[in-house]
Chain A
Amino acid sequence: AAGVIQSPRHLIKEKRETATLKCYPIPRHDTVYWYQQGPGQDPQFLISFYEKMQSDKGSIPDRFSAQQFSDYHSELNMSSLELGDSALYFCASSLRDYRYGYTFGSGTRLTVV
């Protein structure tokens, strides 16, 4: 079965640079979520989108922005990167009624040097 696809899998950026992470949800899933997981930490919710509109917002820094496109894929844009932004970034997708499945992608490992 198709899963949530994230790209790239690994990304190395320098401080103050910009990064864009992409997420392709499971077909027919209309809701996308972004989570950040620091080393040895649990995933922290950043933001979610339903039908291309922001549906919930968590601890997402102002330097980050995200959007969902008409084909339901989503992009997380991160600017003025800091060393502390180094983490695993997960995307998850679901139908609006999440009880039918809330599936995570394999993540993008961002390293800021």
Chain B
Amino acid sequence: GQQLNQSPQSMFIQEGEDVSMNCTSSSIFNTWLWYKQDPGEGPVLLIALYKAGELTSNGRLTAQFGITRKDSFLNISASIPSDVGIYFCAGQSQGAQKLVFGQGTRLTINP
């Protein structure tokens, strides 16, 4: 089945540092989504990307939809303590409604 490879699996950074994570796939997706999940809660949508090459920002977050449609990255600038959590990429194929998730990146911030 479709798989997304997300890296890194975990990150330990200092407050104020920038963060970068990415997802790659062997198959093409028409939509890339980035979610953040806090413990015991549902994923919350951060950024949605619908077009190859698209670069979208949401505050300190920036994400890009790769030109090949097989990858995406998420950057977080000037990290703050509330950025702690697990970040998931998710892809959606043409005509499909289900999401395929990456394995997640666990972000830990040292104050």
Hey, which bits of chain A sit against chain B, CB under 8 A? 4, 31, 33, 35, 41-45, 48, 50, 55-56, 58, 88, 90, 92, 94, 98-99, 101-107, 109
- Nearest opposing residue in chain B for A31, CB measure: B97
Determine chain B's interface SS by DSSP, over half rule: loop
Q: A42-B101, A42-B102, A45-B98 are in contact. Are A105 and B45 (CB under 8 A)?
A: no
| Among listed B36-44, B60-68, B72-80, interface-contacting one | B36-44
Seed contacts A99-B31, A99-B50; 19 additional CB < 8 Å A-B pairs: A4-B42, A33-B97, A33-B98, A35-B99, A42-B101, A42-B104, A43-B99, A48-B97, A55-B97, A56-B96, A90-B42, A90-B43, A98-B31, A98-B92, A99-B48, A102-B45, A106-B42, A107-B40, A109-B40
- Nearest opposing residue in chain A for B98, CB measure: A45
Q: How many residues of chain B have a CB within 8 Å of chain A?
A: 22
